[in-house]
Amino acid sequence: MNPAAAAKASVLDLAPVVPVVVVEGIEDAVPLARALVAGGLPAIEVTLRTPVALDAIRAIADAVPDAVVGAGTVISARNVADAVDAGARFLVSPGWTPALLDAMSASGLPFLPGVSTASEVVALLERGVGEMKFFPAEAAGGTAYLKSLAGPLPGARFCPTGGITAASAPGYLGLRNVGCVGGSWMLPADAVAAKDWARVESLARDAAALR
């Protein structure tokens, strides 16, 4: 998918898996992103959990034009502003408040606010938001919970994230209310430490083939 088309597509439809990335060393950001994109995973969520996260987003946005890089672990209006300034193209939060939802909406970027209960889903639907992150997916009820939401809440589509593996991902992707899943299994710590980007690319390719 070319960058122009990707900019118009829903984050949920870019690829079956969104890699959830924790960048510890800024030197890893660009080669890691290139490996993921080469493997067929263009949407990359860089979590704001490390001191170099914003610089990593900026570096990927500048150097990997085929990547659709987003910011994860967005929990404040300041996070939103910083992510936009760094060049993020979508936002993901582990949960939401009215103030955070307002800030994400005002950013003009696609966003996935986090939910784990039916009441949170209903509240988002009331606000006109139909795409959301289900987190922490495995701990919050997994595929059985999401399947039970599909009937009464057909307007909601999810990106489940949290504890999902290559083995469990197909079960989520088979649900009608799931657009994609988030995970980090294609980024094993030993491969990143060894800068084995060929292995990352191979695992990304396997993940991209899940649907």
Q: What is the pLDDT of residues 4-41, one digit of tens each?
A: 444 446 899 999 999 999 999 999 999 999 999 999 99
Choosing from 8, 24, 27, 45, the catalytic residue is 45
> Residue 9: what pLDDT?
64
pTM score: 0.95
Cα-based distances in Å from 20 to 105, 120, 187, 198: 22, 23, 9, 18
Please check whether residue 192 is in contact with residue 167, taking contact to mean a CB–CB distance below 8 angstroms: no
Choosing from 8, 120, 133, 138, the catalytic residue is 133
Residue 147 falls in the annotated catalytic set: no
Report the DSSP beta bridge partners of residue 89.
none
The residue type found at 204 is A
DSSP, collapsed to helix, strand or coil, labels residue 118 as helix
If phi > 0 it is left, if psi is from -120 to 50 it is alpha, else beta; for residue 142 that is left
From 154, 131, 106, select the one nearest 10 (Cα to Cα): 131
The count of other CB atoms within 10 Å of the CB of residue 62 is 12
Give the whole-angstrom CA distance, residue 70 versus residue 25: 18
Give the whole-angstrom CA distance, residue 118 versus residue 59: 37
Q: What is the DSSP letter of 151?
A: T
Which domains occur in the chain, in start order? 3-208 (3.20.20.70)
Q: For the chain, which ranges sit under pLDDT 70?
A: 1-9
Tally DSSP H helices, then E strands, for the chain.
10, 9
Give the whole-angstrom CA distance, residue 40 versus residue 194: 22
> Residue 211: what pLDDT?
73
> Residue 4: what pLDDT?
40
Residue 133 falls in the annotated catalytic set: yes
What is Dmax (Cα atoms) for the chain? 47
Please check whether residue 187 is in contact with residue 152, taking contact to mean a CB–CB distance below 8 angstroms: no
